[in-house]
Amino acid sequence: MKPLRWIMFGASLSLAACHQPAQQAAAPVSNTPVPATSSPKSASRFEPPSESSIPNDEFGKQIALGRQIFIDPGRYAKAYVGNPLSCENCHLDAGRLAHSAPLWGAYPMYPAYRSKNHHVNTFAERLQGCFQYSMNGKAPPLGDSVLVALETYAYWMSKGAPTGTSLPGRGYPKLPKPALAPDYARGEAVFKRDCALCHGDNGQGQQVADRTVFPPLWGPQSFNWGAGMEQVNNAAGFIKANMPLGRGNTLTDQDAWDVAYFMDAHERPQDPRFNGSVSQTRTAFHDTPDSLYGVTVNGQTLGQGSSKR
Amino acid sequence: MIGYRLILLLCCALFAAGAIADTPDGATIAHQGNGHGVAPCMACHGADGGGESAAGFPRLAGLPQAYLRKQLDDFANGSRRNATMQPVASALSDAERDALSQYYSKLAIPNATPASAPSGGTAQLGQSLAEHGRWSNSLPACEQCHGPGGIGVGDHFPPLAGQSAVYLGNALHAWQQGARHNDPLQLMQSVTSKLSDADIAAVSAWYASQPLAVPQEPKP
C-alpha cells in the first residue's frame, strides 16, 4: 500500500507541475521552487489582443459593450441577472486570464455537443446558460443585444485562435484526484484560514456602494445549483489556479479540493430545471460524484434551494 | 433647597469626570497626548485627522476602526516597522489604542481637495494598475480588494482614494522591502513584489488624486 501511495503522490505532483502557469515563475511570496518542466505550454500560450486594440468603430462599440456587460452585468444586462455576481468573478481579467476559463479558450470550441443538455450548442446558447445558472437569472433570447455584444467580445478576443482546438489554459485546471476524499471539516478550516477574510465568515461576500467586491459563494445571492461551479472538480480547479486572488497556486491540491467541497456543500438557489423532486433532479442533471446536489452532508440533504433574495 | 441641589449636581459632575478619567478619551489623546509620553496625534495627523500629505503622514479620519487598531498593535509588535510610530504605539495602553481607533474611525472625513491628478503616461499606468491590474504578471487590480475608486472595503482593505501619495508610496515600498509584513494572507507582500518603482509612483499619485466618494458611472 505504502509504495503505491508514494507513486500516486509523485504522480499528482508531476501533474500539478503541468498545471503551473508560466507566470508562477515570478510569484514571489511562496518560495516553492518552480519545478523544471519540458512543457512547451508557456511558449505556445495564446495571447488575446490587447484592450487598446479595440477598434474605434461600430464593431468596436459592440466589443466594448460586451466587455462592460462582462464586468458589470448587474448594470449592463440587468434584465437577465438575478444575483450580484459578475462574469469576471470566475473569468478573471475580464475573461482574458488563462486557467480561469478565458473567453478565447471557449469561443473557438463552439458549436459543441454538451452532455449537460444533450444537443449541439452554439456559443450564444452557451452564454444563455451562464445567465440562467451562474447569474441565477434568465436567458436573454437568441439575437438579444446582450448576447450579440458578449459574443462579439469573445470573438474579438479569440483573434488568431484555431477553431476546434482546445488551447492550453482553456477552462480550469483539472486537478488530480486528491489523496484523501474531500472533507467538509478540513475544507472549513481552509476557508477560515484563506478565504473568509474576503468572502466573509458565512460566504456572503462583501459589497461596497452597491457594488460587489468579493462575490457571495453560497446562499441566496450566489450562483444556483445548475451552475458549473457547483461541481466540486470545477471549483477546485478554479480555486487552485486563482485563489487567494493574486496568489494562485499557493494552496495544495488537497486544500483546493477540501475547500471547494466545503463551498459546494452549502445551499444555494434551486436549479431552474428542478422537477419537484430533489432525487429525480439529481438523477436527471447531477448524476456525478462531483455534484453534491441531493447528497446528504452533515445531516442535511442538499438541493433544497435557498430562496431568491 | 437650592444649596442642596447644587451640591448634588457638583457631586454628579465630579463623579462623571472621574469615570471619564478612567476610560481614556480618544479626542483628548489625539489633541493633548496621553500624559505619559505619547505626543498628540494631531501634531502629525492634523487637528481634523486629515494627515499631512506632503510629509507622508496619512489621513486617519474615517478609516476602519479594526484596521486602525490592528496597525497600532502591529507598530508596537514590530510587524509594521516605523521609527516614529513604534514608540508611540508601544506607549499606548490597550484601552488607549481602542479609544483612539474608535475616535478616528468616527471622525468625519475632512473636505480636502484631492491632490492634483498625474498626467500622461504616469496617469495611464496608475489608472491601469488601479482598475485592471497586470494579470500577465498575476497582479490583480487594486480595486479588486480596495473597492471601486479605492474607497475601501470592510475592516481589512483601507481606503486608498485621497490618501497621501507620499504615504502610499512609502507603504508600498515598506511591504516590498519587508519592513511591513502585517498584511493578512501576505496579500500586499505578494502584490508589491510585482511592482516596479515606476508602478509604485504612478499608482500612489493616481489614488492621491481620486475623490473620496464613489465614482458615479453613467447610466447605460
Question: Other C-beta atoms within 10 Å of A199: how many?
Answer: 21
Residue A12 resides in a domain: no
In-domain check, residue B160: yes
Query: Is the Cβ pair A209, B147 closer than 8 Å?
Result: yes
Can you tell me the distance from the alpha carbon of B49 to that of B166, in angstroms, rounded to the nearest whole number? Answer: 17
Q: Are residues B127 and B47 in the same domain?
A: no
* Burial class of B148 by CB neighbour count within 10 A (0 to 12, 13 to 18, 19+): buried
Residue B45: domain span: 39-109
Among chain A, residues having any CB pair with chain B shorter than 8 Å are 21, 23-24, 26-29, 51, 68, 75-76, 92-94, 96-97, 194, 197-198, 206, 208-209, 211, 213-214, 244-248
CB A85 within 8 A of CB A69: no
Minimal Cα distance from B124: which residue of A?
A: A52
Q: Using CB atoms within 10 A of its CB, is residue B20 exposed (0-12), middle (13-18) or buried (19+)?
A: exposed
Cβ atoms of residues B118 and B207 within 8 Å? no
Pick from B156, B184, B190: CB nearest A29: B190
User: From the DSSP assignment, how many helices (H) and strands (E) are in chain A?
Assistant: 12, 6
- CA angle, corner A63, sides to A62 and A67, nearest 5? 115
A120, A56: one domain: yes
Q: Which of A93, A208, A214 sits opposite B135 (nearest CB)?
A: A93
Does residue B51 sit in the same domain as residue B100? Answer: yes
* pLDDT by residue, tens only, chain B of 220 residues: 445 554 544 444 444 444 445 689 999 999 999 998 899 999 999 999 999 999 999 999 999 999 999 999 999 999 999 999 999 999 999 999 999 999 999 999 988 788 888 999 999 999 999 999 999 999 999 999 999 999 999 999 999 999 999 999 999 999 999 999 999 999 999 999 999 999 999 999 999 999 987 555 655 5
Tell me, yes or no, whether A129 and A249 share the same domain. no
How far apart CA A128 and CA A226 sit, in angstroms, is: 12
Which of A30, A260, A63 shows the shortest CA–CA distance to A150?
A63
Q: Please give the tally of structural domains in chain A.
A: 2
Across the interface, which of B156, B185, B217 has its CB nearest the CB of A244?
B185
**Per-residue pLDDT, A307:** 72
Q: Which amino acid is at B62?
A: G
Give the contacts of B142 (CB within 8 A, at least 6 positions apart): B129, B130, B131, B133, B150, B160, B203, B207
| Residues of B in Cβ contact (< 8 Å) with A244 | 185, 187
User: The C-alpha cell of B200 is what?
Assistant: 509604485
User: How close, in Å, is residue A211 to chain B by CA atoms?
Assistant: 8
* Secondary structure (DSSP) of A214-282: E---SSTTS--TTSGGGBHHHHHHHHHHHTTTT-TT-S-HHHHHHHHHHHHTS--SPPTT--S-HHHHH
CA nearest neighbour of A273 among A246, A295, A244, A294: A294
User: Is residue B133 located within the same domain as residue B201?
Assistant: yes
CB pairs under 8 A between A and B: 78
Helix (H, G, I), strand (E, B) or coil at A233: helix
Contacts of A206 in chain B (CB under 8 A): 153-154
Instruction: Give the 3-state secondary structure of residue A34.
Output: coil
Contacts of A144 (CB under 8 A, 6+ apart): none
Total domains, chain B:
2
CB contact under 8 A, A23 and B137: yes
The answer on B104 and B46 residing in a single domain is yes
Q: Cα–Cα distance between B24 and A217 in angstroms, integer?
A: 41
* Residues B128 and B203 reside in one and the same domain: yes
Q: Mark yes or no for CB contact A28/B184 under 8 Å.
A: no
pLDDT range class, residue A8, cuts 50, 70, 90: very low
CB A235 within 8 A of CB A217: no
Which chain A residues touch B127 with a CB distance below 8 Å?
A: none
| CA A169/CA A95 separation, integer angstroms | 12
Q: Are residues B130 and B203 in the same domain?
A: yes
Looking at the fold, whether B131 and B196 belong to one and the same domain comes out as yes
H helices then E strands: how many in chain B? 11, 0
CA distance A95 to B132: 12
Any domain includes B89: yes
For testing contact with chain A, the best of B129, B132, B135, B146 (most A CBs within 10 A): B135
With an 8 Å Cβ cutoff, are B144 and A244 in contact? no
Between positions 172 and 191 of B, the ones with CB within 8 A of A are 184-187, 189-191
Record: contact B214-A209, CB cut-off 8 A: yes
Cα gap A243→B75, rounded to integer Å: 29
Query: Nearest residue on chain B to A194, judged by CA atoms?
Result: B185
Q: Does A213 contact B145 at a Cβ distance shorter than 8 Å?
A: yes
Dist. CA A72–CA A196, nearest whole Å: 23
- Residue in A with minimal Cα distance to B156: A197
User: Among residues A125, A157, A189, which one ends one of the domains?
Assistant: A157
Please report which confidence band the pLDDT of residue A30 belongs to, taking 50, 70 and 90 as the band edges.
very low
**Residue A7 — pLDDT band, cuts 50, 70, 90?**
very low
B67 & B133 share domain = no
Question: Can you tell me the distance from the alpha carbon of A14 to that of B135, in angstroms, rounded to the nearest whole number?
Answer: 25
Classified as helix, coil or strand, A49 is coil
Of A123, A157, A191, which residue is a domain's last?
A: A157
State whether A130 and A70 are in the same domain. Answer: yes
Residues 6 or more apart whose CB falls under 8 angstroms from that of A91 comprise A70, A97, A100, A101, A102, A103
Please tell me the predicted confidence (pLDDT) of residue A44: 65
Query: What is the per-residue pLDDT across A61-108, written as a single tens digit (0 to 9) for each?
Result: 999 999 999 999 999 999 999 999 999 999 999 999 999 999 999 999
Residue A136 structural domain: 51-157
Measured CA to CA, the distance from residue A304 to residue A273 in angstroms comes to 13
Chain A within 8 Å of B58 (Cβ-Cβ)?
A: no
Q: Do B186 and A213 touch (CB under 8 A)?
A: no
**pLDDT of residue A52 exceeding 60:** yes
A135 & A186 share domain: no
Q: Which of B64, B88, B109 is the last residue of a domain?
A: B109
For residues B141 and B98, the answer to whether their CB atoms sit within 8 Å is no
* pTM greater than 0.90 (yes/no): no
Of A129, A157, A185, the position where a domain reaches its end is: A157
| CA distances, B14 to each of A101, B11, B18, B25 (Å) | 68, 5, 6, 17
Q: Are both B139 and B187 inside the same structural domain?
A: yes
B188: domain CATH number is: 1.10.760.10
CB-based contact B220 A76, cutoff 8 Å: yes
Q: Which of A23, A208, A245 sits opposite B136 (nearest CB)?
A: A23
Task: Mutate one of B128, B132, B138 to test the A interface: name it (highest A CB count within 10 A).
Answer: B138
Is there a single domain that holds both residue B170 and residue B126? Answer: yes
CATH number of the domain that residue A90 is part of: 1.10.760.10
Mean pLDDT, chain A, rounded, equals: 88
CA of A209 vs chain B CAs: smallest distance (Å): 7
Round the average pLDDT of chain B to a whole number and report it.
90
Residue A188's contacts (CB-CB under 8 Å, 6 or more residues apart) are A262
Residue A31 lies in a domain: no
User: What's the gap in Å between the CA of B219 and the closest CA on chain A?
Assistant: 8
Q: Cβ B135–A96 below 8 Å, yes or no?
A: yes
**CB-based contact B144 A211, cutoff 8 Å:** no
Q: Looking at A116-181, which runs of residues are DSSP E strands?
A: 119-121
DSSP state of A154: H
* Cβ-defined contact of A28 to B154 (cutoff 8 Å): no
- Residues sharing a CB contact under 8 Å with residue A166, sequence separation 6 or more, in sequence order: A105, A109
